[in-house]
Amino acid sequence: MRYRDENKVQAIRESAIAMVAKDGLENFGINRLAKAAGVSPATIYIYYKDKEDLLTSISIEEGLKMTTATLKGFSSDMSFKEGLWVQWKNRAAFALDNHLSAEFFEQLRNSTYKDKMVEAISDAFQSAMGNYVKNAIDRGEINEMPLEVYWSVAFAPLYSLIKFHNEGQSLGGRKFKFSEKVMKETFDCVIKGLLK
């Protein structure tokens, strides 16, 4: 008789995320994962049918974790400035605390796992984000603009700071460490550019 062992499930999940983040999808396999997680391959098959099933489930779980973290304390009724600041703080905290998760998603980019993950999380997330932007436009706080333009101004600067931080350096090898102060300074420029 086999019972679900949450500690083992957790070890399998964490090792899978770390392995994919580090080595990518091509080298990922159940046997290698079993060794890394300290469980037998049979144990992994108790919980997942195969590699596809495992990666799909884990990417959906991680995606939900990310969106829940991103939407924490956020409401689509907030003023544009307040809402964007909550978003920045949440996104920065998640990315800094879960950088393996961010690298895992990066490896998943352009894979079918990513599509399934986006499918699973998109509803709640997209309606919250969509309503927030629509409210801000309706209130005359920001102009209507293509999504790509909005994202590139509203969020890309934050991810650029996080990338510098994770690499430990910015341009020309300058040492860089993320801080709330540098985030706020960047945010102030961004909000100036977006508000009417």
Partner 1 sequence: MPHILIFKTNIATAEDRSKVAPLLNGQPFIEQWTVDIEDVDCVLRVVTAEPAPQPIIALVNAGSYECTELED
User: Which residues in this chain contact partner 1 in the complex, by CB under 8 A?
Assistant: 1-2, 29-31, 39-43, 45-46, 49-51
* Nearer of residues 46 and 137 to partner 1, judged by Cβ: 46
- Closest to 142 (Cα-Cα) out of 94, 65, 71, 196: 196
Q: Which is nearer to partner 1, 44 or 142 (CB)?
A: 44
Closest distance to partner 1 from the beta carbon of 144 (Å)? 47
Of 126, 129, 108, 128, the residue nearest 117 (C-alpha)? 108
Choose between 5 and 103: whose C-beta lies nearer to partner 1. Answer: 5
- Terminal Cα distance for the chain, rounded: 64
CB 4 to partner 1: min, Å: 10
In whole angstroms, what is the distance from residue 43 CA to residue 12 CA? 9
Nearest distance in Å: CB 33, partner 1? 11
- Residue 87 burial by CB count (10 A; 0-12/13-18/19+): exposed, middle or buried? buried
Indicate the residue among 51 and 81 with the shorter CB distance to partner 1.
Answer: 51
Least separation, in Å, of the C-beta of 32 and partner 1?
10
Which residue, 47 or 159, is less far from partner 1 as judged by CB?
47
**Which of 2/196 has CB closer to partner 1?**
2
Within the chain, where are the H helices?
6-23, 30-37, 41-47, 51-70, 80-97, 99-108, 112-138, 147-154, 156-167, 180-194
Which token pair is 23?
A: 């080595």
| Amino acid identity for residue 102 in this structure | A
- Minimum distance from CB of 112 to partner 1 (Å)? 15
Identify any residues that bridge with 195 across adjacent strands, giving them in sequence order. Answer: 142
What is the nearest approach in angstroms of partner 1 to the Cβ of residue 66? 28
What span, in angstroms and rounded, lies between the C-alpha atoms of 25 and 115? 15
